[in-house]
Chains A and B, each alone.
Chain A
Amino acid sequence: MAAVATSKTSTRGRRRRMTLSRRFESAGPFTYLFLLGVAILSVFPLYWSVVVASHDNSAIADYPPVMTPGRELFHNIGRVFNSGEVNINFWTALINSAIVSGAIAFSVVLFSTLAGFAFAKLKFRGNKVLMLVVVGTLIVPVQLGVIPLYIEMKHLGWINHLHAVIAPFLVSAFGVFLMRQYIVSSVPNELIDASRVDGCHTLRVFWHVVLPAVRPAAAVLGLLTFMNAWNDFFWPLIVLTPGNPTVQVAVSTLQSGYVQDYSLVFAGTFVSILPLLAIFLVLGRQIIGGIMKGAVKG
């Protein structure tokens, strides 16, 4: 990181003189056109789902297709929450997902920061080896252990309980890796040494020195984890029943059978991604910054 920074400052002077630099090249009209196309393609499917969700279901058969939003959006959303009309309780699903994602995000941030701090700043036997083990677990897909995990949950009596959805995701190797990288570069050793001289024990150092310093990275990790947990489908589908679903399972049950009420399905879809869209619109810059920073360091 430091090397990159110095090379940047050394070229800054030269940049002014030389316009050959590629990064100084302005984007041509073709570039804008292409990017605009990509942006439209990225947004369109979501826009389309809102259009469908805001019309009566019969509008889906219109020729040519309707392309502008109608007035039925709130009516259709109301239908999603009307348990007489759909066979699931959407409020339960939303609350369940909020609890699950919140708990997972909190736990991942806490344990990742603790372990990341130990790996980055504390001396202990096996530091390097254990870190390698953590990174190695990244390539082990959790999905492959679903069957024993299911049996484990059955033994614990957690089937159809939220514990079953939360427990397997309490820690994340990616989180440990991310926090370690961040703490290495952003918490100065002098600060830790100074607080040690003052007689702080390790937990106090963690609480008073490390935690305040890692807040930006912890926030990004927390948001990404929250989003991933919110979006998980495979595991909740297995351990929860339709009576006590997460929001993804609930939405997927809206679409069943041959005759489909797309206005209803997409109204549910819209509600299910609304919290994520809200987070993204407000904190999108920070999330993008976090992903990009993590990418360079990784």
Chain B
Amino acid sequence: MSEAIEHAPSVRRAGAARRRLHRIDAVVSPYVYVGSFFVIFCAFGLFPLGYTAWMSLTDRNLLNPTTHFVGLDNYTALLHDSYFWNAVENTLGIWVLSTVPQLLLALALAHLINTKLRGRTFFRMSVLLPQVTSLVAVALIFTQLFSRDYGLFNYLLGGIGISPVDWEAGRFSSWVALSVMVTWRWTGFNALLYLAAMQAIPEDLYESAAIDGARRWRQFWHITVPMIRPTIIFTVVVSTIGGLQLFTEPFLFQPVKNGAMGGSARQYQTISMYLYEKSFGSSQFKFGYAAAIAWCLFLIIVLISIINFLLVRRIKSAET
């Protein structure tokens, strides 16, 4: 008993120390865990982005030893650069041609898979297979399928009496070819996202609609689509961000790859390709100018994402 009393203060002190350690642990640990993410993100994500903004105001060129501040000169030049506007037009064109059919097809696909179906796993796996295939593989395979002389697409067209198309050479035809690549790779993935959202819709909604005599088609438009609206918004935004940065497919579609012109007449040069051409592609190393292109691309992405977001939200809520 007396021993216990004698030891009490030191025990209490040890307890206090431990408690303090625990307190420090509880306060500091979360920031350490979260911080590791932010430190790395700042070093390789945020810093380059801010640096891009600064660089776009200079005439930085890897080949020149000196760099000068030039204000908005790069942006002014960009606005008068017909190659840039050409790239913007190509990017938007290919994006619309690939995103619209892709998402509609994905919606239909998800709707069909979301029934009592034999071989569910087989269908799910097969529609996701393109997503597993690498971009480079997709681009190379489809470039061959779309080739003028021995391409399968021209062979099939020949079968119904249409003369061969030089897919790569034409403006619209090259857009179509590239859109097919994008659509092929992404439709199944989007369908899976839609399917997941559809399966979370409470059954009751359909039952009451069925009692009201709503046909399947009406159910689809009046229940399914509005209920999966968040997922639709998500896929639209994601495919906007991805589609507007399109690079690998058009880059590998080029017969000659020592630059990034996107065809002899720049008929399918995207904004990312133009950025690459000005910086690394043809050894121009005009980093200041390329940085301005990067920021314009970013602004375009943000702008279109917002427009899309508002558009999708309005259409769907009008239907409910």
Contacts and interface: CB of A to CB of B under 8 A. Distances in A.
Interface in B155-192: 155, 184, 188-189, 192
A160 interface: no
Interface string B87-120: 0000000000000000000000100111111100
B115 A168 contact: no
B202 A280 contact: no
B181 to A, nearest CB: 9
B228 to A, nearest CB: 10
B247 A11 contact: no
B27 interface: yes
B148 to A, nearest CB: 12
A233 B250 CA distance: 13
A22 B115 CA distance: 7
Interface in A199-250: 201-203, 206, 227, 230-231, 233-234, 238, 248
Given A21-B203, A31-B112, A168 B27 contact: no
B216 A284 contact: no
A60 interface: yes
A124 B118 CA distance: 49
Contact of B141 (A25, A48, A176, A279): A48
Nearest to B200: A296
Interface string B131-147: 01111111011111100
A147 B279 contact: yes
Contacts of A167: 43-44
A127 B27 CA distance: 12
Given A137-B41, A231-B136, A258-B255, A45 B142 contact: yes
Contact of B49 (A18, A31, A130, A144): A144
Contacts of A122: 26, 29-30, 33
B133 A276 contact: yes
B52 A145 contact: yes
A252 interface: yes
Nearest to A279: B132
Given A26-B115, A115-B36, A124-B27, A171 B41 contact: yes
Interface string A152-170: 1000000000000001101
Given A295-B231, A296-B197, A31 B117 contact: yes
Interface in B236-278: 237, 241, 245, 247-248, 252, 255-257, 272, 275-276
Per DSSP, chain A at the interface is helix
B207 A144 contact: no
A114 B36 contact: yes
Interface residues of B, number: 105
B137 A269 contact: yes
A29 B25 CA distance: 62
B37 A64 contact: no
A6 B287 CA distance: 57
Contact of B29 (A145, A202, A291, A295): A202
B195 to A, nearest CB: 7
Contact of B130 (A34, A42, A60): A42
A265 B48 contact: no
A114 B132 contact: no
A11 B115 contact: no
Given A122-B30, A145-B49, A288-B124, A46 B135 contact: no
B207 A14 contact: yes
B128 interface: yes
Interface string B294-315: 1101100110010000000000
12 contacts: A18-B207, A27-B115, A31-B115, A49-B137, A114-B37, A139-B241, A139-B305, A141-B298, A145-B52, A167-B43, A202-B29, A295-B231
Given A117-B33, A234-B247, A255-B143, 6 more contacts: A45-B130, A46-B141, A124-B34, A140-B45, A167-B44, A233-B136
The 10 closest A-B pairs by CB, nearest first: A145-B48, A148-B51, A292-B196, A124-B30, A202-B29, A39-B126, A118-B33, A20-B210, A148-B48, A231-B134
